[in-house]
Amino acid sequence: MAKTSKFVAIATSKCPKCRRGDVFSGTLYGLNFQETNERCSHCGMKFEVEPGYFYGAMYVSYAFVVGEMLNVGLLTYLITGNDTSPWLYISTILGAILLLTPINYRYSRIILLHLLTPKIKYHPEYDTDDKLSNI
C-alpha cells in the first residue's frame, strides 16, 4: 500500500501522525457541525497536545482572513470597477468571510497540527489499512 502524502493528508483533514484517521467529525458545510475529535480513530493520537493548544490556530486563521480580504477586495474592484462605494467592499468582504468561516476553522487547525507543531511527527509504519488498537 502506498503511503499517504502530506498534501493529501492536509487536504482531506487526516491525522498528522498516521495520515489515516479523521481529525474532524461532521461535514464542512451541513447541519451536523464539525467538531475536532479528541483522538485519532486509527492511531489514538490526542489532537489537543496540551491545554489551550488550538488557541494557536487563531493566528493561522487570522492570516487566512487577511489574505481572503485582500483577494476579495481586489476581485470586487476588477469585476465592478467601482472605487467610490465603501459599502460594496464591506458587504462583499464580510459575505465572503462568513462563507469561508468553516474552511478557516478546519484548515487553521490542520495547518497548526501538520506544519507548525514540531513535536508531532509522521510515522509511516502507522500509515496502513490495519487499525492500530494498542497504541
Position of cell 461532521? 26
Q: How many CB atoms lie within 10 A of CB 109?
A: 23
DSSP string, 103-119: HHHHHHHHHHHHHS-TT
Q: pLDDT tens across 126-135, in order?
A: 888 776 554 5
The model's pTM: 0.86
Q: pLDDT tens across 84-112, in order?
A: 899 999 999 999 999 999 999 999 999 99
Tell me, rounded to whole angstroms, the distance of Cα 94 from its chain centroid: 20
pLDDT at 131: 65
Q: Please choose, from the candidates 16, 19, 10, 18, the residue with its C-alpha nearest in 3D space to the C-alpha of residue 103.
A: 10
> CA-to-CA distance for 51 and 30, rounded, in angstroms?
28
pLDDT at 83: 85
**Angle, in degrees to the nearest 10, between helices 57-80 and 86-115:** 140
- Which three-class secondary structure state does DSSP give residue 128? coil
pLDDT at 30: 77
Query: In the chain, what percentage of residues exceed pLDDT 90?
Result: 71
> CA-to-CA distance for 6 and 24, rounded, in angstroms?
17
pLDDT at 133: 53
